[in-house]
Amino acid sequence: MNPIETKNIFNHFEEFIKLSDKLKSELSKRIQPITFKKGELVLDANTISKKSYFINQGILRTYFLKDGKEISEYFSGVDEWVNSPKSFMQREKDIYYIDAIENTEAYYIHVNDLVYLFDNFPEMERYARLSMGTVFGHFMERITSMRFTSAKEKYTHFQTVYSHIYHRIPLGMVASYLGITQETLSRIRAEK
């Protein structure tokens, strides 16, 4: 990868930590570009998640199957990482699938390369801690929204959290994320 290709991802890291020239060099060796076509399966739940993807353009969805039905768990857009966290960290299969909602350009890093960076660059552990704090905050908000709000409030919260991409996500996927029927979602959207 040349420096222009890594600019976005380096900017992302530098929101949390200072990148030395040596760390930039090591990241450049270990982070690889990848593209996914709309509808392409990025991760199958029957495999171990060994790569984490940083989205440069497009949207990826994480979902699971319940009684043969896809239940959207979360969506990831530009400047966000996505993997199956439990599978990625514990190196075992999990329930999550990841697919591309749109044609998507991303970078990926293999778990072994990430471990190398953590072992050799203490600032990478700081990065992980700080960036995961943001992700944890989003999950806590989602849990609260799912447990204590009406369908209309859930949708409003969804629009806020995913303000940059919600209008590009198919309604059926939004409904499954909110835990409501597509008919209910259509009714809520018509009220606005």
Residue 99 maps to which CATH number?
A: 2.60.120.10
Give the DSSP per-residue string, 45-105.
TTS---EEEEEEES-EEEEEEETTEEEEEEEE-TT-EE--HHHHHHTS--S-EEEESS-EE
Q: Is the pLDDT of residue 2 over 90?
A: no
Give the residue among 60, 62, 92 at the shortest CA–CA distance from 77: 60
Which has more confidence, 131 or 49? 49
Banded model confidence at residue 1, pLDDT cuts 50, 70, 90: very low
- DSSP-derived secondary structure letter, 93: -
Asked, for residue 173, whether it belongs to a domain, the answer is no
Q: What is the mean pLDDT of the chain?
A: 89
Asked, for residue 136, whether it belongs to a domain, the answer is yes
Q: Which residues of 153-168 are buried (b: 16+ CB within 10 A; e: fewer)?
A: ebbebbeebbeebbee
Q: By residue range, what is the domain housing residue 47?
A: 3-148
Asked, for residue 16, whether it belongs to a domain, the answer is yes
Question: Mean pLDDT, to the nearest integer, of 153-159?
Answer: 89
Whole-prediction pTM: 0.88
Asked, for residue 25, whether it belongs to a domain, the answer is yes
Asked, for residue 182, whether it belongs to a domain, the answer is no
The structural domain count of the chain equals 1
Asked, for residue 84, whether it belongs to a domain, the answer is yes
Asked, for residue 188, whether it belongs to a domain, the answer is no
Asked, for residue 180, whether it belongs to a domain, the answer is no
- pLDDT digits 0-9 by tens, 23-62: 999 999 999 999 999 999 999 999 999 999 999 999 999 9
